Structure 1
Amino acid sequence: MKMKKNSIYFLCFFFSSFLFGQESADSFSKSVWVSDNGDGTYTNPIINADYSDPDVIRVGDKFYMTASSFNCIPGLPILESNDLVNWKLINYGLKKQIPSNFYNKAQHGKGVWAPCIRYHNKEFYIYYPDPDYGIYMIKSTKAEGQWSEPILVKKGKGLIDPTPLWDDDGKTYLVYAFAGSRAGIKSVLVGCTMNAEGTVANNDEVLLFDGHQDEPTLEGPKIYKKNGYYYIFAPAGGVATGWQTAFRSKNIYGPYENKKVLDQGASKVNGPHQGAWIQTKSGEDWFIHFQDKGIIGRVVHLQPMKWINDWPIIGIDTNGDGIGEPVSTYKKPNVGKSYPVVYQKESDEFSKPKLDLQWQWHANPQINWGFPSSYGYYMLNCIPKPKKAVNLFDVPNLLLQKFPSEEFTATTKLNVNFNFDEEEAGFLVMGLDYCLLRIKQTESKLYLSQMICLNADKNQAESEAATVLLKGNIVYLQVKALADGICTFLYSEDGTDFKNIGIPFKAREGKWIGSKVGFVAQRNGFINNAGNVKIDWIRFNKI
């Protein structure tokens, strides 16, 4: 009899799991945004999400990208592609930020600024700046493998946007720019020598170019060598309003000629800003850069590129003035064969004992914040609020992912397990303004409230827009985001009948990052048995 009961239980469990798996697979989009048109062309942006300051290299048949991550951890995302159009997030170079005592707290807009990825002597290198501490380097033999601990290559405030060059004669150089907010100077590019290992940058800086007259807000350099010329690609004119300039010289230290090679022109692509030159094995030249789209952050574009009279032209020169304009739709790069579409990972069933890579925290994660599991949920614990936190802006244990596009619907199922009154958890859209669907226990009852905070970065308090009493501890929450940033929020207690709650909310970008969506759990004060919320799943759909 015992054997039969166990067998029946197993069959029921297997059958229900199969149905649940089918329901899961059918209940969300593979990806909210897809660039590959499936007919040999692509539409920009190739990644319609916040991957600021992208840098790209080719190693063999594959391409690798990294980007800024600022205070979000894990940091230094690493993406892989076979064709420059379809990208997959495969790893992070930085598991925590140093110094730890500083980055264990939320430090908005600080941390990892524009990085540079290179491949040298069979190793991957990433140089990244922390504008408050200096220029760091990490490396690995495999992009998807374990990366080394950061080495401070050059100490100093305001040193940003480093790019190394291992020259043909064995000498090694580092080119970088300055953040006026820390260094007190800006719009200049300098270069110095490094040791052969690229671990120490010497104090022998030489001015390479002063951009104050023709190239204001000059930053983001990437240095290359081709046909005896040293080339520096760098944006100027500001993130949302600028252009791409190319500099060339026969000598590493200059003097450099400069030429504008890409601007907005008649296109709708403002900026266009900082990026990387890449060449395919077939010899085609391409340029990847970002566009600042405000609420959703800085998205990634791919432009064709060609050389005329030893000058690069990026995009398409529509009017013959020698300056390229960004393309909207274009034929895909020739990489020898066709590759399938890669869908960005957004939805999550939380069915693995490891967080998927799309999730980041707002500070170095601590061991008691939460746990993945094999039980089909992520347990997010009610951690004490920081004592001086007026709102969520200074709360470090926010589990968030990037907006996947301008328009989407995200629905989540939560199982609330509070042990005490005043414990709370919720689902939020986070930025300089934020909106939180907060579940809070009061007098042993659960209340769902829409909480809105405007100018969170300026220590403004939350306001309550609406509150309902929940019948049970399982609740489904949903946000619908539109292209203008307007978000509406809904809830359900059965997963079928969704009701609006509160008022429309206009999303807003964060500090140098786009708006994000995700979860938080917290409480007032420390207790030895805090409650938690079990995140069953989150599913994204196109609108």
Structure 2
Amino acid sequence: MFLRTSITALLLSQSPLILSQTLTNPVIWQDHPDLDVFRIGHTYYYSSSTFAYSPGAPVLRSFDLANWEAVTHSVPHLNFSPAAAYNLTSNSRAYVKGIWASTLRYRPSSDTFYWLGCVDGGKTYIWSSPGGNARSNGGEVPPETWNWTPRPVIDKCYYDAGLFFDEDDSQVYVVYGNTQIRMAQLSVAANGDLREVRNQLVYTSSDMTLEGARMYKRNGDSPWGPYTRRVLVDRIQGPLTSAGYAHQGGVVDTEDGRWFYVGFLDAYPGGRIPVVAPMTWGGDGWPTVVRDGGNGWGRTYPIPVNTTRKVNVLGPRVDEFKGVKLGPEWEWNHNPDDGKWALNNGLVLRTATVTGDLFAARNTLTHRIVGPKSRGTFRIDVGAMRDGDRAGAVLFRDKAAYIGLHKTVDSASIVMVDNLNLVEGSWTTSSTGRVAATGPTVTGEIWLRIQADITPAFGTSIGRQVIFSYSTDGRTFTNLGPAFAMSNSWRYFTGYRYGVFNFATKALGGEIKVKSFAMELV
């Protein structure tokens, strides 16, 4: 049994349905950090952080560890305290709070998925979903059977936790901490609720921060230790330049007994993106990551599993918002006001907030950017906007810019607005933006485009460029405003996203209809 840590030290106790046939790193060129990964039968699941975005804790699925799709969110509504902060109400907000370094696992005996995460350093929140007979179906869960329900909160912070169900899953453990690693044992009530019954310090580090603990069992050892430590990876070069070293994450095996390490790279401005490498076990019982010919992290490896099962691969796509619910790739900036949006042959966004500050406006809908270079285009009907309304397509993060419409009594003018800024640390608004350029007026449909280069520039002074443009026919686009330079800071944690918004500066009542969103590589 071993625990994985931030630089990955080991503690050992006695869209389209097109699949790559090679594992190419990064396996997902999108922001999916603080990952937890595990296998049920022939199906792999992956959970990651979302902070204040809602729904939270996205769940990805793969059959080969190389091609991934989004399937659900473990936390459909951020039920955290204070509620006003996560709802963007009462002048309260939750930027850089919420879901970070959480954990997801499956309990076969009750056919239940459990998500667990410490929120804001105080309490540990738990959500669960019956697995749709995942155990008997190779781990596959029909989309309509996900049914996430909140469980009683544990009044303790399981920091950067790893959840573990023992072989017969009657024993449940959570490993957590940083310089001190603790082991909590939980009981499972008849109704599925979890409660701590034992807690013990199992390891102390005097020279290293140990974050993102995970727990695995190989040789029948005791979860209570004793433990010793060895480094698995630390500053292995590659596979991308101007990106951090692979770290955190977890390990997972295949049905035929091979093992893989899944970590992520700090790759701002795009965020933190996942990478995979094979892992072998030595005769001494310790694992080793398979490196490339240059002794670095491989850019490519043979695909871990050959399968004919297909997934809707994350990346380029077109969404016309024709379903009965939003796809699992979408997340709101904080909990939405559900009375102010609808799906009706398009996404209807009614104004939900009266404000002059986009960072304070509810119901901004976001989508992760695909790298290294892509563009996102929103087709929007603006005919029902009202005086004072502001709507458009935003490149969303703590340093932001947008192309959109500013509505006055008689007309809606196209504008490019930059210099929307939050104060790093307090995450209060320091600037609500300036109109950097103005275009023509619009009365009906408009296509708004953001073209973003999220090639990693982490640790550099390079500001990757973003271009904003518009079209009145969907074919010919006109650039508007200066190029926008993205921030490479890690302190906001999440990477830049495409987003669409509609808020009022005078009175509620206006609306827009988003008819489509297209994301494509360039």
Is the structural similarity TM-score above 0.5?
A: yes
65, 85, 104: which one pairs with 2:87? 104
The corresponding residue for 1:123 is 112
219, 222, 225: which one pairs with 1:227? 219
Deviation at 1:283, TM superposition (A): 1.0
1:382 aligns with 2:351: yes
The aligned amino acid for 1:212 is S
For residues 129 and 182 of structure 2, the distance between their equivalents in structure 1, rounded to whole angstroms, comes to 27
Secondary structure in structure 2 of the residue aligned to 1:417? coil
For residues 222 and 291 of structure 1, the distance between their equivalents in structure 2, rounded to whole angstroms, comes to 18
Structure 1 residues 325 and 141 mapped into 2: Cα distance closer, same or farther (>3 Å)?
farther
1:36-76 Cα distance to aligned partner (Å, 9 max, x none): 543xx221111111111111111112111111121111112
Which structure 2 residues correspond to residues 289-328 of structure 1 after superposition, within 5 A?
289-308=263-282, 309-316=284-291, 325-328=296-299
Deviation at 1:513, TM superposition (A): 0.9
Mark the structure with the bigger radius of gyration: 1
Structure 1 residues 172 and 359 mapped into 2: Cα distance closer, same or farther (>3 Å)?
closer
Deviation at 1:479, TM superposition (A): 1.5
For residues 537 and 148 of structure 1, the distance between their equivalents in structure 2, rounded to whole angstroms, comes to 28
For residues 452 and 259 of structure 2, the distance between their equivalents in structure 1, rounded to whole angstroms, comes to 36
For residues 154 and 82 of structure 1, the distance between their equivalents in structure 2, rounded to whole angstroms, comes to 33
For residues 165 and 408 of structure 1, the distance between their equivalents in structure 2, rounded to whole angstroms, comes to 38
For residues 226 and 256 of structure 2, the distance between their equivalents in structure 1, rounded to whole angstroms, comes to 33
Question: Quick check: 1:391–1:460 contact (8 Å CA) kept in 2?
Answer: no
The aligned amino acid for 1:64 is Y
Which structure 2 residues correspond to residues 22-421 of structure 1 after superposition, within 5 A?
30=16, 37-38=20-21, 41-99=22-80, 100-105=83-88, 106-120=93-107, 121=109, 122-142=111-131, 143=141, 144=143, 145-156=145-156, 159-167=158-166, 170-177=170-177, 186-197=178-189, 199-202=193-196, 204-213=198-207, 215=208, 217-229=209-221, 251-268=222-239, 270-308=244-282, 309-316=284-291, 325-335=296-306, 337-340=307-310, 342-344=312-314, 346-373=317-344, 375=345, 377-386=346-355, 391-418=357-384, 420-421=386-387
The corresponding residue for 1:501 is 480
1:405-448 Cα distance to aligned partner (Å, 9 max, x none): 13002222211024531112111101111111120112311111
Question: Quick check: 1:74–1:95 contact (8 Å CA) kept in 2?
Answer: yes
For residues 266 and 365 of structure 1, the distance between their equivalents in structure 2, rounded to whole angstroms, comes to 41
Deviation at 1:174, TM superposition (A): 1.9
1:533 aligns with 2:520: no
The structure whose RCO (Cα within 8 Å, separation 6+) is larger is: 2
For residues 117 and 225 of structure 1, the distance between their equivalents in structure 2, rounded to whole angstroms, comes to 16
Question: Quick check: 1:412–1:539 contact (8 Å CA) kept in 2?
Answer: yes
The aligned amino acid for 1:354 is K
1:424 aligns with 2:390: yes
Question: Quick check: 2:236–2:245 contact (8 Å CA) kept in 1?
Answer: no
The corresponding residue for 1:24 is none
TM-score, with length taken from structure 1: 0.80
Q: What residue ranges of structure 2 are gaps of 5+ in the alignment?
A: 1-14, 132-140, 456-462
For residues 167 and 466 of structure 2, the distance between their equivalents in structure 1, rounded to whole angstroms, comes to 54
The aligned amino acid for 2:45 is Y
Question: Quick check: 1:53–1:274 contact (8 Å CA) kept in 2?
Answer: yes
Structure 1 residues 164 and 107 mapped into 2: Cα distance closer, same or farther (>3 Å)?
same
For residues 219 and 290 of structure 1, the distance between their equivalents in structure 2, rounded to whole angstroms, comes to 14
The corresponding residue for 1:459 is 429
For residues 308 and 437 of structure 2, the distance between their equivalents in structure 1, rounded to whole angstroms, comes to 51
Deviation at 1:342, TM superposition (A): 4.2
431-440 vs 266-275, greater mean Cα deviation: 266-275
1:62-92 Cα distance to aligned partner (Å, 9 max, x none): 1111111211111121111111111111111
Deviation at 1:403, TM superposition (A): 0.9
1:139-186 Cα distance to aligned partner (Å, 9 max, x none): 222254333422245213x54222233345854322111xxxxxxxx5
Which structure 2 residues correspond to residues 12-23 of structure 1 after superposition, within 5 A?
none
Q: What residue ranges of structure 1 are gaps of 5+ in the alignment?
A: 1-28, 178-185, 230-250
1:177-219 Cα distance to aligned partner (Å, 9 max, x none): 1xxxxxxxx5221112221447444374322222231x2x211
Question: Quick check: 2:353–2:362 contact (8 Å CA) kept in 1?
Answer: no
Aligned residues: 466
Question: Quick check: 2:352–2:361 contact (8 Å CA) kept in 1?
Answer: no
The corresponding residue for 1:181 is none
Deviation at 1:451, TM superposition (A): 0.7
For residues 148 and 421 of structure 1, the distance between their equivalents in structure 2, rounded to whole angstroms, comes to 40
Structure 1 residues 444 and 212 mapped into 2: Cα distance closer, same or farther (>3 Å)?
farther
Secondary structure in structure 1 of the residue aligned to 2:161? strand
CA RMSD of aligned residues (A): 2.5
The aligned amino acid for 2:164 is L
The corresponding residue for 1:243 is none
1:295-340 Cα distance to aligned partner (Å, 9 max, x none): 1111111110111110111232869xxxx842210001135x4445
Structure 1 residues 260 and 463 mapped into 2: Cα distance closer, same or farther (>3 Å)?
same
Secondary structure in structure 1 of the residue aligned to 2:269? helix
Identity, in percent, stands at 25
The aligned amino acid for 1:135 is T
For residues 173 and 338 of structure 2, the distance between their equivalents in structure 1, rounded to whole angstroms, comes to 40
Question: Quick check: 2:270–2:371 contact (8 Å CA) kept in 1?
Answer: yes
Question: Quick check: 1:80–1:87 contact (8 Å CA) kept in 2?
Answer: yes
Deviation at 1:380, TM superposition (A): 0.9
Deviation at 1:136, TM superposition (A): 2.1
